[in-house]
Structure 1
């Protein structure tokens, strides 16, 4: 006779969250390890984050992902942080262990793995990052640690942009600078341009306000948005001849790292990829 009918539960907090396609992908990851775990999406407003985190502890969740707008705010509620999460100052993954919340960040690592799987290696590369929020911080730190030589942070809020540039310069061997995001800001010479904002996330069809004439065929341009996969930003970059990458690779690999953290088992990224593709059909 089966001894336990309780199914381990994980999920994600965000606002908005309805357009997030990660549920089917994450459960495919669990199945690929032989585990019957669940992953649910929860719309949690910024003002309700503490109550939500108390809830997952009380309900015995095994883990949680965080998306906009919680990645930075949630740090202060953790009882433990990984070394990289402490450096980044933002988390996207929580491990619940013996009733305590431990914060980790798999965003940047997933981004780096996704680039590598597409044949792009960061050693010696110059990057421009649009945004300075939680995802931008994770991507910037992990790219710097992976060998990037220079980062340019473009952000509307000067304080946050300068803080991120200083974080990179002071804690890695990579140099960094800040550029104020003004109307039709020019993109400086770089190898990789990343939109790390939520501009263009479904149902929003707007474009990051940059000078698209400064994008060229020698650049790799990636959007971290996954819905839609082919954003207006990527369409414009593709028209300029750039090599474009959507946000699905980052989503898959950050998710795979989270599954491994929670379960101790390595999931099959290809199974997760197929589930993600099917969720859009």
Structure 2
């Protein structure tokens, strides 16, 4: 790729970022689309976030992704936050619109697009159980609730956080909270299980967030982890006849939507998918 003074810059801000698959995926996407952009990852410590944003604004960087631990803190440094990101309470994509920084959240929408494309699920007919109450659970819960899910149960190690998320999602749908010890009882009535914690993520691939005995063949089990693509939870669910959905699609489509925010052009979805799949081979 030819790089000169007219080449646009897009970035990733996080801490750490060395493990990220985004630079390879995004740079290939820009090349495939014939767009003069480069994508770079910057490891930014929390105390340096404000300086980093001021620098990116001054340099005219077109936009950037935001990952852990900056998705909430970034909001105070932006000029505007769109309605969905404000409702979720976190930003994962920033667009520099002629010097005005606008924040979006593509996580929930990306998840929903992946879920519906891969499973054909009618979300309005589902009874949902979300394990976890962090930022990912908040984004996915908001997407499901606003798409018409009629009931969401939240289970989390810390009951207070579960109650906070359930109260937040209660603006759009019926919610309740269950203790981790009582999950199997709730699973009996659940049709969509969403696992949003880091339990089972590489390198701790043998870990599982719940006892597999409660999994059943009326479930769709969706794990937001993408490394490995098929977590132990998904493997155990498949053994018991459940349909499974990995986190790779959410990773893909949140990036697709970010690409489209920055460029105003359709993203080369299949190219991006191929890069992700290749980068995770053997994991």
TM-score, normalising length from structure 1? 0.90
* CA–CA separation in structure 2 for the residues paired with 1:48 and 1:256: 28
What is the alpha-carbon distance in structure 1 between the residues aligned to residue 73 and residue 142 of structure 2? 18
1: distance between equivalents of 2:232 and 2:16?
A: 20
Describe the superposition over 1:10-60 as per-residue Cα deviations: whole angstroms up to 9, x where unpaired: 122223322222222222332343203112222233333333323322332
CA distance 1:180–1:12, shift in 2 (3 Å): farther
Q: Contact 2:192/2:221 (CA < 8 Å) preserved in 1?
A: yes
SS class of match (2:262): helix
Shift, 1:85, TM fit = 0.8
Counterpart CA distance in 2 for 1:51 and 1:157 is 34
- Measured after TM superposition, the shift of residue 125 of structure 1 is 1.1
Following superposition of structure 1 onto structure 2, how do residues 137-156 of structure 1 map, counting pairs within 5 Å? 137-156=138-157
* Paired residues for 1:5-154 under 5 Å: 5-118=5-118, 119-154=120-155
Cα distance, 1:13–1:239 mapped onto 2, change above 3 Å: farther
Q: Specify the alignment match of 2:226 in structure 1.
A: 226
| Alpha carbons of structure 1 residues 242 and 14: separation in structure 2 relative to 1, 3 Å | farther
Q: Determine if contact 1:21/1:227 at 8 Å carries over to the other structure.
A: no
| CA deviation after TM superposition for structure 1 residue 206, in Å | 5.1
Deviation at residue 77 of structure 1 after TM alignment: 2.5
Secondary structure at the residue paired with 1:123? helix
Structure 2 CA distance for partners of 1:161 and 1:78, relative to 1, 3 Å: farther
Distance change in 2, residues 1:197/1:14 (3 Å): farther
Query: What is the rounded CA distance, in whole Å, between the counterparts of 1:201 and 1:165 in structure 2?
Result: 25
Count of matched residue pairs: 277
Structure 1's unaligned 5+ residue stretches are none
Partner of 1:161: 162
Q: Secondary structure at the match of 1:95?
A: strand
Aligned partners of 2:22, 2:167: CA distance in 1, in Å?
33
TM-score between the two structures when normalised by the length of structure 2: 0.89
Contact 1:108/1:141 (<8 A) preserved:
yes
Q: Counterpart in 2 of 1:256?
A: 256
Partner of 2:191: 191
Asked if 1 retains the 8 angstrom alpha-carbon contact of 2:154 and 2:177, the reply is yes
Q: Which residue of structure 1 lines up, in the alignment, with residue 240 of structure 2?
A: 240
User: How far 1:110 moved relative to its partner?
Assistant: 0.5
- On the 8 A contact 1:129/1:151 being kept in 2, the answer is yes
Query: Any stretches of 5+ residues in structure 2 without a counterpart?
Result: none
Moved more, 55-64 or 123-132: 55-64
Distance 1:89 1:153 in 2: 17
